[in-house]
A and B are shown apart, each in its own frame.
Chain A
Amino acid sequence: MSENISRRDFLKLATVGAATTAVLTGCGPASRYIKREPYMQMPEYTYNGLSTYYATTCRECAAGCGLIVRTMQGRAIKVEGNPNNPVNLGKTCARGQATLHGLYNPDRITGPLQRTTRGEAATEGLEWDAALQVVGDALNNNNPDEVAFLMGMAPDHLFDLVSDLAASIGAPAPLRYGVLSMFEARATLVKAAEDLFGQATLPFFDIGNADLVLSFSANFLETWLSPIAYTRGFSKMRRGNPKRRGHFIQFESRMSQTAAKSDEWIPIKPGTEGLVALAIGRLVAEAKGGTVPSSFENVNLEDIASLADVSMETLEHIAQLVAEAESPIMIPGGSALGLNNGLQTAETILTLNAIVDNFGKAGGVFFSPLSPNEDEIHRPASSQEMIELIEKMKGGGVKVLFVHGLNPLFELPKALGFEDALASVPQVISFATFPDETALQADYVFPDHHPLESWGYQRVATGAEQSVLSGAQPVVSPNYDTRATADVLLAAGQLAGGAVAQALPFQDEIEFMQSKFASLVSQVDGSFSAPEINTFSAYFQQHGGWWKKSAELAAPSASDALGKSIVVEQAQFAGEGEFFFHPFMSPTLGEAGANKPWLQELPDPTTTVMWNTWVEMNPETAHELHIENDDVIKIISEAGEVEAPVYLYPAIRPDTIAMPFGQGHTAYGRYAAGRGVNPINLLGSHFNEAGDLAFAGMKVRIEKIEGKKQLLSRLESRIGVYNEGLEEH
């Protein structure tokens, strides 16, 4: 009873009472006080609840879109597009939005690491001074010819620095590679332009002003070249002109997100894009009544129609449209070029543009302008060039390998044998920000800042009409004990001394960047100019880059193209099997998005699958094979085999199966590791004339794994979406 209540009990009761009152008062007074830790000497504007905005560059892919990051109290809150940057004009894609999930990813590498046995998670930390020493020695003690630099796709300041570094010590120039460049077959596109117009450059397709777009499996709304810019163009093509609505036809064996927006999707047989282009070219030329170009003259339409599995009527109807269109444009896309006849296909399609004579006209084909401080196009390495490096590594020709911004163990097909090659390299130094597969195989990991924490600039290869140099700057102070790779290399260069120290006499990467701006400072045709370099680089950071005021699109010459004779032969498909294999880049994940949970949770635009890999298969085919949704099947190619659950995809050729690239990591953090499979391991090492991997040139067979199901997480309903009502649930 309450007469003999001890003091302790009373206090107990009292606290209970306190708790209950706190609860009962609902949104009454805040009963818990928060201790706030202000920054050292924090500038006032950071702690009055107002946000600060910094302009920088998105580095989720190589397109070089400008960003404006909202920060508050030293934290990055939200990513928005930079409205001034000509590439994206204030827009961002999903991957750009999710950059923050990289910055604040719980799996980031927090400091320099040393690994005793490769492949094991166990590491021991070391100081940055020691790290610098390691890099310095690596540069010094090795025969320059045996030092190799492997870098990401983006042509940024670090690439320039490494090029200079390599040149100064006489090492081979750094290689830039990205699986994205493989999927969009950049090398082939550039080579085609070189063959046709004698100028190695990326064509720029002005679909914004076109009224008819023929896309040969170009996924320009997803990841192709510069998706934001091309999406803007698409929007303009459709709705930009109130009088007319642009017509859009997509040739592709599977209805991609891009094809889903087309007015006509024509599922031609894989590998026949070039032939179809030839046929259309002839029909158009005849319809226009002009002279039919030599290479198009003797084309057997019926054969092509039957080969491509498309009716003559369709071909004629399309040719009719093209002939009547004011400004038609034809675009060669990744999976059309990723074949052994890819180069010919690319040339044919570009020539098709010549037939309708849209070069240099609004809604036609142009050359992408070079970046301001760029002398010639530096395209990323083709797979062929990677093979050369791999052979060299295998032969023991590489003593130390520097890897930055690239995850070759994930992005290169197993068949290319990078894994073994890596094993035969004595010293591997990775600058990875995240613990990816390659970093796991590296002896040293000297983590770079996350892009949002680092300085830099990035050249825009294509997408904008004018020449653009996007600028990057840190929006937050580094979260962890990371260091900018450029600084590491510069410091290490000083340690190494000799030629390197002379070639790169810079204190830090900012000085280096300024040295690269020098030519731009006083240029008047730019977005801004400055009296001297410091002001210039201040503006540079403020505007998020430097770009020309006016468009600088050069026009290719039609006559060169028409003059060239093209022979398109049949595409060869490697391996035997009843299915064409169509790997494609996941529109939401991209090549490196798998460790960002919100990208994982974004439904794939066409299948609405989240968090996993699937195999797309035509329902009829599946029915014949007694395969249902979510049945796990084994896909076997000459190079390897993977297991993945089936998604019955109504819009894919019955003789084709498709798989998205992006999942299937064995490392790369808690959200990516052990999730889905990596279709790239099904690809064999076959190349086209331009040296690009013939990734679309595989045939595979499938085996159903009896009784094994894996429920795919779909956003869409399994009942309502197919209008098939209640068959499946």
Chain B
Amino acid sequence: MQERLKQKATQLLENGTVDRILGWKAGEFFYDLTPAVFTTKEQIEKDFVFNVFAGANLSKYLIAESRKGGKVAAFIKPCDSYSFQQLLKEHRIWRDNVYVVGVQCDGMCDAAKLGDGVLSVKEEGENLIVDTLYGEKTVLKADAIADRCASCKSKKIVIFDELIGEQGEETENDRFGEIARLEAMSPEERFEFWRGELSRCIRCNACRNVCPACSCEKCVFDNANSGVRNKAAADSFEENMFHIIRAFHVTGRCTDCGECSRVCPQNIPLHLLNRKMIKDINELYGPYQAGADMDTKPPLTNFTVDDCEPSIVHERGGQ
């Protein structure tokens, strides 16, 4: 796959389709890829990488990249394509300046699942051969797959100019299972659960800054004029506040790409909040997938006269 992507990138540069390529660059180890912009064949030859750790969702970079003049090609995986289209829908990306190469994806791996002291990794079929400071071992790719990919919602690339690999379909998944488990708890248990999770937050803003839906020119939490600015949670309230407001601001816009949980240095399952909102929207207002198309009205800027009342939250209990 990596070679096909490299070839495509080189070809797009050489035939003048684009001026820049947005992809992933090799790091010190096999797993620490960095999103990067390539402008020459040489750079691509030397540094362009695509492997099971190319999890970073590149769509958000296109907000800035598409405004830089010239045209940029971006490699977009299925879940990234939803984010991309959602950003288009919100007029955040200048479509004319982007050439989207859809890349099929079999799920990305989580480096933390490889164990300690990883020096290098080789992909061999279904296996990863991991060389560590403490010896070599073989890990099944399936055992190292990232949690978000294990409950992948769709392998469909919803928008592209060109496709590498097969087009996929929406997949059967149990992504709402963990939400249902939380809903089944008593409010006290849920409160304890979230207190435990959110109290670890260090307000590094990684979740916000990586989130394609959080693309505000200026976040209310950075804006002294908003009246709610804060840089650190001085009280447990502020830990809640940040995450509630963030989840609410992306409600109906979150595509469930899972980047927030991936980047959290404290492993807080932040995606659960967003996913709960998605589940609610699906159940209360009919199925809706942000970014799936350009036309459907987002649920929070839409209504029907027969919508349920807010009291449904009381009536249905924790559901």
Genuine A/B complex? no
The residues of B with any CB-CB pair to A shorter than 8 Å are none
Footprint of B on A, CB under 8 Å? Answer: none
